[in-house]
Structure 1
Amino acid sequence: MLRVLLLTGMLLSSSVFAAEVKNVRIWIAPDHARLVFDLTAAVQHKLFTLSKPDRIVLDVSGASLTSNLAAVDLAKSPLSLMRSGTRNGGKDLRIVLDLKESVKPKSFALKPNAKYGHRLVVDLHRETKESQPQKTALASVSNPATLRDVVISIDAGHGGEDPGAVGPGRVKEKTVVLGIARELKALLAKEPGFAPKLTRDGDYYISLRNRTKRARKANADMFVSIHADGFNDKRARGASVWVLSPRGASSEMGRWLASKENGADLIGGVGSVSLEDKDDVLAKVLLDMSMTASRSDSREIARSIHRNVSKFARMHKTRVEQAGFVVLKSPDIPSILVETGFITNPEEARKLKSRAYQKQMAQAIFAGIKAHFKAKPPALTLLAWQKNGGSTVAKSVAVSHKVKRGDTLSVIASRNGVSLSALRKANGLKNADHIRIGQVLKIPAS
């Protein structure tokens, strides 16, 4: 009887704390902070806020804390203090996050993967005020000061909780690719006519969809995602350059057409249009045109970068490769992904973590981007003005557009950043919008 009671007591004792919080990490991004609680098992949790003073409460059922909260560096976070206690007779854990600024909290659990066990994540999104749009002069070829730069969105893969592939000596993909991204940004920043924007400029995580959303928010003319490959066989080696596959393009088109959220987004860059007020046929035509153009430009840039990288690095394949990577699926932004080598290969890992090789890789990517946009600059950019000799006289002559299947006058006007009335006037169309395939239209300069 005594043995039964002892065994029962042991079982009850072990079930009181079904999980331990064995470690706590924090990652700081410009717009949010991420807290990650490492657990020994899955848990049920509840998160809520309290005021006066402002704080967030995280209740974790059947858990105990074995980590030191005071050891977590909160210096650049929205938190002033983390403290803990127990509730329900010591059965449950309560963690209190004292706030020093207003945030919107979100929590979720993550299942174990190859790198981590069970985790509980709390994201603290900073509340930022929407900046007022600045009044700017209307872009005009007669005033070069009003012409815009070509915006390049540079995406360093992984980050924060996600280290990416890990090579010999614990060299992490997220660290290497951020180094290359920063080198590429520096090169583009020095080149007149370009404006580089990093999707992340620190060690924090951004979801795949949010990376392309950031590019769209920056009105990017191109998106380049930088990665380093990994494989369980350390003999695997070689850099590669990727573009969106036809199957990936098709699935993304279906996603956009089906989603009301996407329908309200703008496509087409500077002369952008919304899909939400278009019928299904026109919306599909607009998306198809936009994605066809962006994929064509993507392939051109990718081939140029592939040639540049092959001059100093071993290539995984002799040609540009295709896949359905999520970060390549912007229908209106030419997008490429560069795998800079296999970080799991000892020789390539040694190169990738060196500053000199990172600069060399960035230079190869930069040269490909520069060559493309110098040859095919978007309308009303400084590069377009320079291509035409920097002359307002030369630019005052309208450029032309040959009508293709699926074109409409309003679509052509939008994609070239001109008004419908100006396009009609330049071509003597008055109020008639009838155009035919093969017809050459004049595009007014501004």
Structure 2
Amino acid sequence: MSLKKIIIAIDAGHGGQDPGAIGYTGLKEKTVNIKIALQIKKLLNNNRMFHAILTRNNDSYLSLKKRRQFLTKNHINLLVSIHADSSKKQYVSGASVWIISNTRMHREINNYLKNNNSIICFSKNIQNIFNENKYDTFLKKTILDLQFNNFQKLELDLSKHIFEQLKKNIKLHKIHPNYASLGILSCINIPAILIETGFVTNFLEEKKLRTTDYQNKIAKSIYLALKNYFLEF
């Protein structure tokens, strides 16, 4: 294990004028997200292996564009986005994990190659190759595709750890990660994972998500999953 700290960005979804999903008794998703995110940050930063930063640290609105700019301009090793789910079916409950779909990521890679003035902080090795081969689009695409394959393996392996820890404390909605075309997960230089911590539209789950004890159980589960994954890595 390198002595260099692992930089993890914790993204609390929604915020400010964007409440996210709202439960039957008025619980706002944005509130659950920031409380869990703050607790994860605290746990990570108490471990010398990690340095955690937040995309937002209060009830402020941050557009997807600004979140993505923040992520692409910093040398982040992993993004963890925290959300709470909703459904028209009141009985639906449980946590789930989402990662970026192949289709969306390949589209992002192609867009980057067409628009080379994008400000993206790649690893030093990749940046050096890109600087030395400015006009070799095929080489760049090959490298970015290989990098994405590595990121996806990381995301899938980390998902297993997250499911393993969450199921000890809370109900799971699905036991395998979902693939989606989500903007927050689609930065081409950062592996990313989105965790739906439960359904605010489920009466019993909304009641639990409102409590500090339940929020802390979720935060600790996510922290332990990250710690266990990177100790193995």
The residue that corresponds to 2:13 in the other structure is: 157
| Residue deviations 1:226-260 (CA, integer Å, cap 9, x gap) | 00001222222111011112222222222222223
The residue that corresponds to 1:439 in the other structure is: none
The residue that corresponds to 1:189 in the other structure is: 45
The residue that corresponds to 1:330 in the other structure is: 187
Is residue 357 of structure 1 aligned with residue 207 of structure 2? Answer: no
* Runs of 4+ with >6 A deviation: none
Counterpart of 1:259, as a letter, is N
* TM-score scaled by length of structure 2: 0.92
Gaps of 5+ in 1: 1-140, 377-446
- Go from structure 1 to structure 2 and tell me whether the alpha carbon gap of 1:306 and 1:209 turns closer, same or farther (over 3 Å shift): farther
The residue that corresponds to 1:280 in the other structure is: 137
- Go from structure 1 to structure 2 and tell me whether the alpha carbon gap of 1:259 and 1:200 turns closer, same or farther (over 3 Å shift): same
Structure-2 separation of matches of 1:162 and 1:245: 25
Structure-2 separation of matches of 1:259 and 1:167: 41
2:120 to 251, 265, 272: 265
Counterpart of 2:121, as a letter, is L
Larger radius of gyration: 1
Structure-2 separation of matches of 1:188 and 1:150: 10
Cα RMSD after superposing both structures:
1.9
Gaps of 5+ in 2: none
Is residue 235 of structure 1 aligned with residue 91 of structure 2? Answer: yes
Q: Percent identity?
A: 34
Structure-1 separation of matches of 2:125 and 2:12: 28
CA contact (8 A) 1:267 1:332 kept: yes
- Go from structure 1 to structure 2 and tell me whether the alpha carbon gap of 1:272 and 1:280 turns closer, same or farther (over 3 Å shift): closer
The residue that corresponds to 2:227 in the other structure is: 370
Structure-2 separation of matches of 1:271 and 1:187: 31
User: Going by fraction, where is strand more abundant, 1 or 2?
Assistant: 1
Task: Measure how far apart 1:181 and its partner are.
Answer: 0.1
* TM-score scaled by length of structure 1: 0.49
Structure-2 separation of matches of 1:197 and 1:315: 27
The residue that corresponds to 2:205 in the other structure is: 348
Task: Measure how far apart 1:199 and its partner are.
Answer: 0.5
CA contact (8 A) 1:294 1:331 kept: no
Task: Measure how far apart 1:272 and its partner are.
Answer: 4.5
1:318 to 141, 160, 175: 175
CA contact (8 A) 1:242 1:320 kept: yes
The residue that corresponds to 1:220 in the other structure is: 76
CA contact (8 A) 1:226 1:338 kept: yes
Higher relative contact order (CA closer than 8 Å, sequence separation 6+): 2
The residue that corresponds to 2:60 in the other structure is: 204
